[in-house]
Amino acid sequence: MNRKYRKTVIAGNWKMNLLPSDVKAYGEALRQRAGKVKFCDLVVCVPAVSIPAAVKAFRDTRIAVGAQDLSEHASGAYTGEVSAAQLKDAGAKYVIVGHSERRTYHGETNETVNAKLHASIDGGLTPIVCVGETQAQRDMGISKDIIRAQVKTAFYKIPADRARKIIIAYEPVWAIGTGLTATPAEAQEICSEIRAVIRSLYDARIARAVTILYGGSMNPANAAELLAQPDIDGGLIGGASLDAGKFVQVINAANQ
């Protein structure tokens, strides 16, 4: 983390878990414990149907509500899709874009991710854009090539003043939900590479200002070591964010 130049962010990703009616109890547990957080921004990305309940549960706290996906279109005949404007109107401030589960199960390409990144910014949401290599790509030794291509395409035609506000999450696919975690040194190496790509696309000031998260089985036991790396500015936490107690322990590791 480097708080002098950029924000620390801890974001939870509930994926397709918990009901809208579960949110109140979770909010109460989190609210009690996370009251004294000063040094990092907190986000919980909930299923779209739970956004109104989450906004209510986290009112008057530092916890912002995020969505997990959005349509690349602003409005129109796209049955089942949800637009940035609709998410914002429901109270979301953030949105995850290009999560590996969207890429794997819903065919999202780097180009789709770029379109969704534009849509989220145009709609006034702060995107958390996910990049990461698969196990096979890692085994082939092409992790950095994959990440470079993902970042470059995601940021295509994103103007500099907007790029600096985008949060990037490095999430090695092989580490998501598996209990496997990149070592702090491995995660740092890729996050530093991501910053270098941003520098090459924009400039050093923007690269220094961009918040880069690590995600992939981050939990209370490994969070402090990962967050101690200079280019890791926070975490995107799946499984461990479903338990308010565990999530708070990760938050506490970032709030030192």
Which residues face 126 on adjacent strands?
Answer: 94
Instruction: Give the per-residue contact string, 50-79, with ligand PEP (x = CB under 6 A; - = no).
Output: ------------------------------
What is the spatial distance between Cα 132 and Cα 100, in angstroms, rounded to a whole number? 7
Q: Which stretch binds ligand PEP (CB under 6 A): 48-56, 59-67, 138-146, 215-223?
A: 215-223
What is the spatial distance between Cα 120 and Cα 167, in angstroms, rounded to a whole number? 12
Least spacing, CB of residue 186 vs ligand PEP, in Å: 15
The answer to the question of residue 237 lying near ligand PEP (CB under 6 A) is: yes
Task: Check if 118 is active-site.
Answer: no
Least spacing, CB of residue 81 vs ligand PEP, in Å: 21
Do the beta carbons of residue 116 and residue 97 sit within 8 Å? yes
Pick between residue 147 and residue 176 the one whose CB is nearest to ligand PEP.
176
Pick between residue 66 and residue 215 the one whose CB is nearest to ligand PEP.
215
The answer to the question of residue 216 lying near ligand PEP (CB under 6 A) is: yes
Pick between residue 155 and residue 174 the one whose CB is nearest to ligand PEP.
174
Rg (CA), the chain: 17
3-state secondary structure 91-139: CCCEEEECCHHHHHHCCCCHHHHHHHHHHHHHCCCEEEEEECCCHHHHH
Closest CA to 90 of 65, 115, 57, 63: 65
Please identify which of the residues 72, 99, 101, 108 carries the catalytic annotation.
99
Question: Which of 37, 239, 246, 250 forms a contact with ligand PEP (CB under 6 A)?
Answer: 239
Least spacing, CB of residue 256 vs ligand PEP, in Å: 20
The answer to the question of residue 171 lying near ligand PEP (CB under 6 A) is: yes
Decide: helix, strand or coil at residue 154.
helix
The answer to the question of residue 143 lying near ligand PEP (CB under 6 A) is: no
Please identify which of the residues 72, 108, 133, 171 carries the catalytic annotation.
171
Least spacing, CB of residue 221 vs ligand PEP, in Å: 13
- Residues near 193 by Cβ (< 8 Å), separated by ≥ 6? 144, 147, 148
The answer to the question of residue 176 lying near ligand PEP (CB under 6 A) is: yes
Task: Check if 99 is active-site.
Answer: yes
Question: Which of 87, 194, 218, 251 forms a contact with ligand PEP (CB under 6 A)?
Answer: 218
The answer to the question of residue 177 lying near ligand PEP (CB under 6 A) is: yes
- Residues near 205 by Cβ (< 8 Å), separated by ≥ 6? none
Distance of CA 8 to the CA centre of its chain: 12
Which residues face 63 on adjacent strands?
Answer: 42
Q: Which residues from 11-30 bind ligand PEP, rule CB under 6 A?
A: 13, 15
What is the spatial distance between Cα 225 and Cα 85, in angstroms, rounded to a whole number? 38
- Give start and end residues of each alpha helix (H) in 37-82: 51-57
Q: Which residues belong to the active site?
A: 99, 171
Residues making contact with ligand PEP (CB under 6 A): 13, 15, 171, 176-177, 215-218, 236-240
